[in-house]
Amino acid sequence: MTSGRTSRGQRTITHRPVLWAIYTLLLLLSPVAGASAQTVLAKIPIPSSSNGELAANPALNLVYSASGLLSGGTLTVVDGHTLSVVTTISNSGGALNGIAVDLMNDNFWTTNLFGGQILTYSSANTEIFANTVGYCPDGTSFDCKRRRIWAGAQCGGGNDPLFVFDADTFALIAGPIGTGGVMGVIRANPVTGKLYVTEGSVSKEVNPTTFAVTTTSFGNVEGIDSVTNRLFAVQGNDLQVVNGANDSVVKTVSLSYTPGDMGVNNALGHVYLTNQAANAIEVRSEQGTLLGTFSLGAGNQPSQVAADPIRGRVYVSLVDGSGAWSIWAIEDLTSARSCLRPGGP
């Protein structure tokens, strides 16, 4: 006779089949009871012509996705409130490239690749100014302290130029500034005013006063925290943490992959690295410590990443196995239960 209780001391005895049932139930419930490092809030389809560069405006809760380096295309605006597309902007040449947001007045800057122009749009998604510079402009970056917009261009015959504009008057400050190579990604550091330029495997910096271009001693800068003045660079499969004050490498972390892009949440102190081979986003501290990994699922290859530090969100543009592009809005919960860390208890 099977009984769950004896008369001696009324002690409860749970038999082995019941124990195994409880154990199995706990295993099934453990992922639910535990803390997930991410919550995917939405997967927002975008045109393939808007893939390439990603930027967020946390003040207006908007996200911008523009065509990338020399691909020529459109610019899609996403509403962070509704997590849906507001509009997709194109021009007659179909060649909008790059995106930078002026968070002081909510203008955003892009380029007309084939028209040789640097374009300024208002927050109403209306073009308000066009600077014609020639060449093939393909990227922009914003310096909030000096109120400058930097723009890079190709078609410079091996000496691709940079241009600097006043973000308020739209006037040209300097340029063309020859860089001595083929233009790649550009990143402005508002703390020092320097611009970092990627030219293949060579990393260069531009002096904000003399506009002299020199080669750095570290890899290509893909992310900057203007609060801590830390640069995050990639050299091969190494992540380098660089002190922006003196350009010294303070930490090198060996990775098993080469990040395609990086984003920084300066409120949480998180750095997001795209791992295309693993279909994932790594979350690291600004000291390089691995905090977590956002798995995007098989066939979902990340391209660009941008952070909204106000809402603790990460926006990732990715392409799936069918070739369709989308922006994923992800809530970063990596530090939500981490004691004594920003964003934690």
Query: For residues 302 and 317, what is the distance between their CA atoms, to the nearest angstrom?
Result: 6
Predicted structure pTM score: 0.87
- On the CB side of 292, how many CA atoms lie within 13 Å of its CA? 17
Bridge partner residues of 127 (DSSP): 121
CA end-to-end span of the chain, whole Å? Answer: 52
Under 8 Å CB-to-CB from 98, ≥6 apart: which residues?
Answer: 52, 53, 66, 67, 68, 109, 110, 111, 137, 138, 139, 140, 151, 152
Which neighbouring-strand residues pair with 76?
Answer: 65, 88
Q: Which of 307, 306, 189 is nearest to 243 (CA)?
A: 189
Sign of CA dihedral 258, 262, 268, 269: positive
Alpha-helix runs per DSSP H in the chain: 16-33
Q: For each of the chain's 345 residues, which pLDDT tens digit applies?
A: 444 333 333 333 344 444 444 334 333 333 333 346 789 999 999 999 998 899 999 999 999 999 876 556 899 999 999 999 999 999 876 689 999 999 999 999 999 998 999 999 999 999 999 999 999 999 999 999 999 999 999 999 999 999 999 999 999 999 999 999 999 999 999 999 999 999 888 999 999 999 999 999 999 999 999 999 999 999 999 999 999 999 999 999 999 999 999 999 999 999 999 999 999 999 999 999 999 999 999 999 999 999 999 999 999 999 999 999 999 999 999 887 777 678 777
Closest CA to 38 of 312, 318, 320: 312
- Measured CA to CA, the distance from residue 107 to residue 144 in angstroms comes to 12
Q: What is the pLDDT of residue 36?
A: 61
The pLDDT value recorded for residue 336 is 77
The pLDDT assigned to 341 comes to: 74
Residue with token string 């991410």: 38
CATH topology for the 260-345 domain: Thrombin, subunit H (2.40.10)
Cβ pair 232, 242 in contact under 8 A: yes
Cα distances (Å, whole numbers) of residue 309 to 89, 103, 108, 186, 264 = 26, 13, 19, 21, 8
pLDDT at position 316: 98
Domain ranges of the chain: 260-345
Q: What is the pLDDT of residue 71?
A: 56
pLDDT, residue 165, reads 98
How wide is the angle at C-alpha 59 spanned by C-alphas 186 and 73, nearest 5°? 45
Look-up of token digits 């409130």: 81
